[in-house]
């Protein structure tokens, strides 16, 4: 059953994060983001994504989790594995390259009180946010500003 479940669950989780990131991009008012929080409710089959201020961004019911006869720690560990695989796939597709995500950036698995259980993905350096691109844009802005100032002085 796990083999058939994998593509479907991974697709659902990737869509969950993609939707959450889209909502965050549209509603955060240009604020920088350092982390996302994920909660799992295995009894309800829910995966929930929150921003740093603990605002719910998106949730999805994974019916394969609800319908599973086996529950408990084994299913929970499989769910965490699917979260990691989904986040790695999104990283590969450069979903986290959005300039709103700062370094270091992490996605945390949290409990109902938002206490960290574990880090699902941790991104630092240039693998997420192109620092070279940022510096190039700053350099171009500085050059444009300098040209404008010197043009006004002449």
**Range with the lowest mean pLDDT among 63-67, 88-92, 142-146?**
142-146
Q: What is the pLDDT of residue 154?
A: 55
pLDDT beyond 70 at 102: yes
49-83 in b/e form (b: 16+ CB < 10 A) is bbbbeeeebbbbebebbeebeeeeeebeebbbebb
Chain segment 5-45, per-residue pLDDT in tens:
557 899 999 999 999 999 998 887 778 899 999 999 988 99
Chain segment 71-82, per-residue pLDDT in tens:
788 888 989 999
Return the domain boundaries, the chain.
2-123, 130-154
């Amino acid at each position: 059953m796990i083999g058939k479940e994998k593509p479907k669950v991974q697709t659902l989780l990737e869509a969950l994060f993609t939707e959450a990131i889209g909502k965050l991009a549209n509603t955060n008012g240009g604020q920088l983001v350092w982390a996302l929080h994920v909660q799992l409710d295995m009894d309800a089959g829910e995966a929930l994504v929150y921003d740093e201020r603990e605002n719910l961004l998106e949730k999805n019911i994974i019916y394969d989790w609800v319908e599973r006869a086996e529950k408990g720690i084994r299913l929970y560990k499989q769910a965490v594995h699917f979260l990691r695989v989904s986040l790695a796939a999104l990283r590969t597709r450069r979903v986290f390259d959005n300039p709103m995500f700062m370094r270091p950036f992490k996605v945390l698995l949290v409990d109902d009180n938002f206490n960290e259980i574990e880090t699902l993905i941790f991104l630092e350096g240039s693998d997420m946010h192109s620092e070279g691109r940022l510096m190039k844009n700053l350099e171009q802005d500085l050059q444009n500003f300098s040209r404008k100032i010197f043009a006004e002085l002449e």
